């Protein structure tokens, strides 16, 4: 059985993961509106990843005898001044999610909840990748600057990203 404190924290994280999906869908729509289909694709794949993360927390909470309580999801922003501004927001958002995952890990350790700490280890590792990916694109966009050819090449590169669900945990 999971503690009430951990259950409530995991429910907040489910909401945060679903908000992340909303945010990336909003960024997808922004990129589509400015004819950057590759950037839009990258964000769409990111939204699918976030939904998968929410589902992972959802399943874990149910498996541990907790109760999932879905709360309203805040509406995300919908306009950015540039592709760089959108990816800078994505990077800052991933840093915020990392802090949330770390706080969950701290709580699991405090509560001596080894199962939750074990599950969260996957997310700790995942956040390293999430931050690195967003930061890498921010850095590329800064290098591209106002060069429309460079932006076109990066858009083409980002169009190749495909959603790959995480491997199932061995049972």
Tens of pLDDT, residues 23-72: 999 999 999 999 999 999 999 999 999 999 999 999 999 999 999 999 99
**Closest of 150, 165, 137, 158 to residue 51, by C-alpha:** 165
For residues 64-83, average pLDDT: 97
The region, left, alpha or beta by phi > 0 then psi within -120 to 50, assigned to residue 35 is left
Confidence (pLDDT) at 22: 98
b/e burial code for range 132-156 (CB count within 10 A of at least 16 → b) = ebbbebbebbeebeeeeeebeebbe
For residues 5-32, average pLDDT: 98
pLDDT at 15 over 60: yes
Q: What's the rounded Cα separation, in Å, for the pair 93 and 7?
A: 23
Cα distances (Å, whole numbers) of residue 85 to 78, 116, 148 = 12, 35, 16
For residues 113-125, average pLDDT: 97
Coil, strand or helix at 64: coil
Confidence (pLDDT) at 168: 64
For residues 144-161, average pLDDT: 95
Confidence (pLDDT) at 170: 47
Q: Which fold has domain 4-158?
A: Ferritin (1.20.1260)
For residues 103-132, average pLDDT: 97
Give the side-chain half-sphere CA count within 13 A for 137: 27
pLDDT band at residue 152, thresholds of 50, 70 and 90? Answer: very high
Q: What is the DSSP letter of 75?
A: P
Confidence (pLDDT) at 1: 82
pLDDT band at residue 165, thresholds of 50, 70 and 90? Answer: confident
């Amino acid at each position: 059985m999971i503690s009430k404190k951990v259950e409530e924290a995991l429910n907040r994280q489910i909401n945060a993961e679903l908000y992340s999906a909303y945010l990336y869908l909003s960024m997808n729509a922004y990129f589509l509106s400015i004819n950057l289909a590759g950037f839009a694709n990258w964000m769409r794949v990111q939204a699918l990843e976030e939904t998968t993360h929410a589902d992972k927390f959802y399943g874990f909470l149910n498996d541990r005898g907790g109760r999932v309580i879905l709360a309203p999801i805040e509406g995300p922003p919908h306009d950015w001044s540039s592709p760089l501004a959108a990816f800078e927001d994505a990077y800052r958002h991933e840093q915020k999610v990392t802090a949330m995952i770390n706080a969950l890990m701290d709580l699991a350790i405090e509560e001596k909840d080894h199962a939750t700490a074990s599950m969260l280890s996957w997310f700790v590792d995942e956040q390293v990748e999430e931050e690195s990916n967003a930061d890498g694109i921010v850095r590329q966009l800064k290098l591209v600057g106002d060069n429309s050819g460079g932006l076109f090449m990066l858009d083409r590169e980002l169009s190749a990203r495909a959603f790959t669900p995480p491997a199932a945990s061995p049972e």
